[in-house]
Amino acid sequence: MKTRSLLATALLMAAFGAWAKQAVDTGHGGAVATISHEASLAAMEILDAGGNAIDAAVAAAATLGVTDPFSCGIGGGGFMLIYSAKDRRVIALDHREVAPATFHPGIFRNADGSEMEWKAAVPNGLSVGVPGTVRGWHEALARYGTMGFERVLAPAIRVAEQGFAVGPNFHRINTANEAKFARFSTASALYLKDGKALPVGTHFRNPDMAQTYRDIARGGVKAFYEGPIAASIVAAVNHPPANPGVAVLPGDMTMADLKDYEARIRQPIRSTYRGYEIHGMPTPSSGGIAIAQALNMLETFDLSGRSRAEIEHLYLEASRLAFADRNAYVADEAFVDVPKAGLLSKEYARERARQIGPRAAPGKVDAGDPYPFEDDLSVPLRPQPKPLARESMHTTHLAVSDREGNVVAYTFTIEDWGGSGIVVPGRGFLLNNELTDFDFSGPHPNVPEAFKRPRSSMSPTIVLKDGAPAFTIGSPGGSTIITTALQTLVNHIDLGMNLADALAAPRMSQRNGDTTLVETLLGFPGSEQAKALEALGHRWRETDQIGAANGIRFNTDGTVTAVSEPLRHGGGSAIVQKQ
C-alpha cells in the first residue's frame, strides 16, 4: 500500500509537470482547441482568411479526419452546437448516423435468439450506419458559414497529400487496432506494415483521402451521397474487403439509404444552474438531458462550506441517478416518447436528489418515474430499466470561436477506435460501427429499427451567462463523455477551478455501476483525493485515461482563453488569434 501511495505521488508530480505544458492560449481574436495541432492550424488558417467559426470548425474537423482517423471522419457522424452571435441563440445540428431501411430489432441476435457479442459485432459491414458527417458539414456551411467546401477542405487536402510523422498517440491507437485492421485488405494496406502498426516516425500520407476531399470540394454534398463515393460506400458495406480466410458479416445498405439521409436542426436542451444557462444536445444524444438532470439534482444542495470530497461525492451520486434514468428512457424521439419534460423538471430533480445520502450507494439504483412531472395527459408505456449498453470510448471534440462572437462546440465520431475497420477502397476513410450503439435486445427504447438513429452520449455544451457565451466544453469518450462534461462543469462552477485546471483534473465516471471508473494516467488511485472519497463508500475501477476534452472560456475583460489536454490523447492544441 505504501508503494502504491509513493507511486501515486510520483505520478501526480509528473502530471503537474505536464500540466505546466498544457495547451492554453489567451487573446482577443478567434480561438480554437482540438486534440491535433494540424487541425487547430487549419481552423486558424480559415479564421485568418476571414472565415467564421462555423467555417473554421469544418476545416478543423476535416483535418482531424486525416490526423486522428481512428476516432472520426467522413465515414461517421456527429452533433454540432452553434451559438449565433447575430441571432443570440444556440442551434443544435444533428448529423448522427442512421440505420438502413433493412434494419430491424433482431438484427444483432444469433440464430438461437441470444445477443451477439458486442466486440464480435463491430468489425463487420452489418455495424455500419449511413454516414452523416458530410451532410452535417454542408448544412452548417450553407446555413451559418461564409465559405464553401472548396475553401474549407483545402487545409485537410494539403495535410493528407503532404503527410505527417506518425506520433506516439497515433501509433498507440493503431497498435490497439492491429487485429481489426488485419481483417480487411484496405485497412491493412493503409495502416499496417507486415501486420503491425506503422512505427513512430513513419511519414504517413493518405492520397486517397485527399482525392475524396477534392471530389467533395468540386461536387459538393451530392458527390458524397449520390455519386461514385456513395457507390464505393455501399459496395464496402455490402461486400467488405476482407482478407482471404476472414469471415465478415455484410451489411445491407442501398444508394437510396445514402441519398435520403438528412441532417436535422433541433431545439437544444436548455437548463439553468447557479446563474448559468446550460445548452446541450437533444436526442438522439442522451448527453444534454443527463447533464441537465444531474445539475438540477446538484442545485438542490447548498455547497458552501463543503469539502472537495463532499462536492465530488454529490457529483458522483447525481451522475449515478441521472444514468439510471438515461438508460431507461432516452432514445431517438422520432421512435419513442421520451419523458423529456419530466426528466428536466426541477421538481423531479428534488425528488431524485432525496435519494443521495452521505455515503455512496452500494451499487446500481433503479430508474425514477418522471411521468408524473410531464405536462402530458396521455399515458405512455413505462420502459423497464436495462443495464448500461456497451458503448465505445473513442470520438473527438473541438471548440472554435470567432471575433464576431460565434461559437461552435462539435463532437463527431466513427464510434469505436478504427470504427468498423473497413477502409472504403480507393477513398481513404474508415466506416463507422455506429449501429452497435443500439441495445441488442428489447423491449427497450434504443432497440434497432429502420431509419432510427442510435442513442449517443455526445455532449457538446455551450454555457451562457447573462445571455452571452461564458464557456464551452466537450469531450470524446462514449458514455463517459457525459460525466467528463458534467465533472468539468462542477470543477469550474462549484469548485472554482479555472477552465484549464477543471479540464485537466483527474476524472471519475459513475454511470450507475457498482464501481466508478477512474484514471491511472494522473495517479488518482491511491491519492488523497481518492482516499477521501473511499471513506464515503466509493469504489474504483481503473482505466488509463478518460476522454480528451477541449474548451474555450470567454473572459470578462473581453479576452478568450482556449484550453486543451496536457496529457490525455498525447496532449492537445489551443490557439487564439493575435491582433
State how far the Cα of 286 lies from the Cα of 282, in Å rounded to an integer: 7
Please check the confidence at residue 83 and state whether its pLDDT lies above 70.
Answer: yes
Band of residue 2 on the pLDDT scale cut at 50, 70, 90: very low
pLDDT given for residue 123 in this prediction: 96
With H, G, I as helix, E, B as strand and everything else as coil, classify residue 172.
helix
Ranking 48-52, 390-394, 506-510, 521-525 by mean pLDDT, the lowest is 390-394
Please check the confidence at residue 54 and state whether its pLDDT lies above 50.
Answer: yes
State how far the Cα of 377 lies from the Cα of 356, in Å rounded to an integer: 30
Please check the confidence at residue 394 and state whether its pLDDT lies above 80.
Answer: no
Could you give the percent of the chain with pLDDT greater than 90? Answer: 88
In this structure, what C-alpha cell is assigned to residue 59? 476545416
State the average pLDDT for the chain: 93
State how far the Cα of 119 lies from the Cα of 424, in Å rounded to an integer: 21
Cβ proximity of 40 and 56 under 8 Å: no
Catalytic residue among 63, 67, 395, 488: 395
Ranking 56-65, 367-376, 498-507, 516-525 by mean pLDDT, the lowest is 367-376
pLDDT given for residue 195 in this prediction: 95
pLDDT given for residue 545 in this prediction: 93
Average pLDDT over residues 163-190: 96
Residue that is written with C-alpha cell 452497435 in the block = 436
| Tens-digit pLDDT profile for residues 495-531 | 999 999 999 999 999 999 999 999 999 899 999 999 9
State how far the Cα of 141 lies from the Cα of 447, in Å rounded to an integer: 33
Please check the confidence at residue 251 and state whether its pLDDT lies above 80.
Answer: yes
Higher-confidence residue of 310 and 378: namely: 310
Average pLDDT over residues 96-107: 96
Peptide bond preceding 362: is omega within 30 degrees of 0, i.e. cis?
no
Band of residue 443 on the pLDDT scale cut at 50, 70, 90: confident
Band of residue 16 on the pLDDT scale cut at 50, 70, 90: very low
In this structure, what C-alpha cell is assigned to residue 126? 452489418
Cβ proximity of 222 and 182 under 8 Å: no
- The ranges assigned to domains in the chain are 22-163+205-264+393-504+548-576
pLDDT given for residue 442 in this prediction: 85
In this structure, what C-alpha cell is assigned to residue 201? 516516425
State how far the Cα of 239 lies from the Cα of 333, in Å rounded to an integer: 32
Residues 6+ apart with CB under 8 A from 456: 79, 96, 281, 284, 285, 286, 287, 437
Q: How distant is the alpha carbon of residue 437 from its chain centre?
A: 13
Peptide bond preceding 284: is omega within 30 degrees of 0, i.e. cis?
yes
The question of whether 516 is a catalytic residue gets the answer no
Band of residue 14 on the pLDDT scale cut at 50, 70, 90: very low
**Domain 22-163+205-264+393-504+548-576, classified CATH 2.60.120.10, yes or no:** no
pLDDT given for residue 357 in this prediction: 96
pLDDT given for residue 116 in this prediction: 95
Band of residue 313 on the pLDDT scale cut at 50, 70, 90: very high
pLDDT given for residue 157 in this prediction: 98
In this structure, what C-alpha cell is assigned to residue 280? 446541450
| Tens-digit pLDDT profile for residues 557-577 | 999 999 999 999 889 999 999
Ranking 91-95, 111-115, 205-209 by mean pLDDT, the lowest is 111-115
In this structure, what C-alpha cell is assigned to residue 292? 441537465
| Tens-digit pLDDT profile for residues 192-231 | 999 999 999 999 999 999 999 999 999 999 999 999 999 9
Q: How distant is the alpha carbon of residue 436 from its chain centre?
A: 15
